[in-house]
Amino acid sequence: MLVWCTGISGSGRKEYVKQAAEYCDTKGRRCTVIDVGDLLDEVPEYVKVGTTRTALLDGNEDVLRLHRLIALQRLQQLVEEATEDDLIIVSTHACFMPSAAHVRP
């Protein structure tokens, strides 16, 4: 089963998801949490621009798109590796704001 959890920064999403996974584990249900932000952090060094998530989000839109593509490909791989009995919780920010260059009046 795949569960998608979203929330804005500072909402406590990571802690809630972690607690839910721990609860499932105590009930005998294997549960894996995949945090999209962590996947973005795992993008290979040769692709990374900047050392923080803020630098990435405030940087070049094409580089950000590439980071997201690599992270989502890794997410797809992790989901495909799971068995039908696995519970996977994907945790991600609620939205991604476009850069000012992409906002139309």
Q: What are phi and psi of 54, to 5 degrees?
A: -65, -40
pLDDT at 31: 92
Whether the pLDDT of residue 98 is over 50: the answer is no
3-state secondary structure (DSSP) of residue 87: strand
pLDDT at 21: 94
Tens of pLDDT, residues 39-55: 888 877 767 666 566 66
Domains of the chain: residue spans and CATH: 2-95 (3.40.50.300)
Would you tell me how many other CB atoms lie within 10 Å of the CB of residue 74?
17
pLDDT at 50: 61
Whether the pLDDT of residue 104 is over 60: the answer is no
How far apart, in whole angstroms, are the C-alpha atoms of residue 29 and residue 26?
7
Q: What are phi and psi of 34, to 5 degrees?
A: -120, 115
Whether the pLDDT of residue 68 is over 90: the answer is no
